[in-house]
Amino acid sequence: MNALYNIAVRLYDLGIRAAAARNAKAALLRDGRRLTFPTLASALEPGRRYVWIHAASLGEFEQGRPLIERIRRESPRTGIVLTFFSPSGYEVRKNYRGADIVCYLPADTPRQARRFVETVRPMAAIFVKYEFWGNLLDELQRHDTPVYLISAIFRPRQIFFRPWGGTFRRMLRCFTHIFVQDEASRRLLSGIGCRDVTVAGDTRFDRVTDILNTTVEMPEVERFVAPSAFTLIAGSSWPADEEHYIGWFNSAPASTRLIIAPHEFNAARISALRRMPEGGAITLSELEAGQTPGEARCLIIDCFGKLASLYRYADTALIGGGFGAGIHNINEAAVYGLPVVFGPRHEKFKEATDLIQCGGGFCYTDRTTLDSILDRLSTDTDCRAKAGQAAGDYVRSQLGATDRIWNATIAPLLSSDTDSDPKKRHSWLKNR
């Protein structure tokens, strides 16, 4: 990588270290990176072949998870090294049993990149959706390691397509093959000379279908929503979302139920949420401990890992994040055949636009538009059923990305007759 890039990486790393004194996430990242190489040294098995999969955070992990579990199922002896950039991904999935080693990605300096690649020596590297680290990509290319980008999506305003984006365009050319979600992304890449691109779809659809098939029953939640004529679930909720939907809920009929699953929480956040709904609130842990809801109309989820199974108990889902960095996973709700409602910052998510177009998704920009949407979905059962059907049908129409990527990447690597020749492993992709 060029000198400016390397300076920027080092400055960013110094910034993390400086921020760690006052920022908990920065401290987790700093301390976690210090453990990366000791973790690898103690856990890597000599002579075992590894696939390295990198996910920036939790959302990207969920996209990569179907492929990880396919590797584990089809080739149990193949090792899997899973890295995260963000503490919000690593801290939740550091004990994930689908991977042999879970650790933080080291800083992308030339020295750290060389050390990481030469330590792991992956038979293949897979980056999920985003994350472009130039020194790591250069090092993988130097070792003739097949490297893939999966479930990627590109937009015209990204730096790759700007006159000054030459360094990042060079990173794209380090990938053996790029698997994108849509044809628009393929055309954008073609316009800057990237030809090794396949429209494979989004692996998140395969993941949420897996979740649907293994959903966990929650009898306490079922009893809580039983008297309800309409149940709204707010998944991955942020305070900015609550400013809109809590007002609607407080004016809704008494039979309405609300389930809030905050994206992040601590004792203070849960305490604040309890005071918002009229009629009282109860937490899931209290419900599971045998406490009766009493007059409470709102259930607050005070633990992680339950949201995907909770959607089955709702009639409509409101997905948070649309007034912040971007909406969270709407597919987890849509797969249950629920109408999905979300805020305006969804332009980075193809599925949001698609769901709006097919009638399964609804975007709101303020309290007035949200009230109108929820009033209709809560009272017009035919409208709600039609929207839910559209959402479920859309998810089912998008399945299969994992199979397409598996057959083009990992399956050839595991084939005994091509395993020794890195160029032959992916030659069919180059000739498409």
Residue 431 has a pLDDT of: 42
Q: How far apart are CA 364 and CA 244, in angstroms?
A: 10
Q: Where are the alpha helices (DSSP H) in 75-172?
A: 87-93, 110-120, 134-142, 166-172
The alpha helices in 192-225, defined as continuous H runs, are 204-213, 219-225
Please write the tens of the pLDDT for every residue from 94-144: 999 999 999 999 999 999 999 999 999 999 999 999 889 999 999 999 999
Cα(16)–Cα(6) distance, integer angstroms: 15
- As a whole-number percent, the residues of the chain with pLDDT over 90 amount to 83
In 176-313, where do the E strands start and end?
177-180, 197-199, 231-237, 257-262, 281-283, 298-300
User: In whole angstroms, what is the distance from residue 76 CA to residue 263 CA?
Assistant: 33
The 10s digit of each residue's pLDDT in 315-329 is 999 999 999 988 999
Q: According to the model, what pLDDT value does residue 227 have?
A: 85
**pTM of the predicted protein model:** 0.81
pLDDT in tens, 173-200: 999 999 999 999 999 999 999 999 999 9
Residues 6 or more apart whose CB falls under 8 angstroms from that of 197 comprise 177, 178, 179, 180, 185, 186, 189, 190
Place of tokens 């177009």: 357
Q: What is the pLDDT of residue 1?
A: 77
- At residue 305 the predicted structure's pLDDT band, cuts being 50, 70 and 90, is confident
pLDDT at 428 over 60: no
- Inform me whether the pLDDT recorded for 146 exceeds 70: yes
Encode pLDDT of 251-269 as tens digits: 999 999 999 999 988 899 9
pLDDT at 432 over 60: no
The stretch 37-52 carries a mean pLDDT of: 96
Q: Which residues contact 259 (CB under 8 A, 6 or more apart)?
A: 221, 225, 231, 232, 233, 234, 298, 299, 301, 310, 313, 314
| CA distances in angstroms from 418 to 178, 366, 412, 428, listed in the order given | 21, 56, 7, 12
Q: Give pLDDT, residue 362.
A: 98
Question: What distance in Å separates the CA atoms of residue 129 and residue 55, rounded to the nearest whole number?
Answer: 8
Tokens describing residue 12: 């960013």
Predicted pLDDT of residue 430: 46
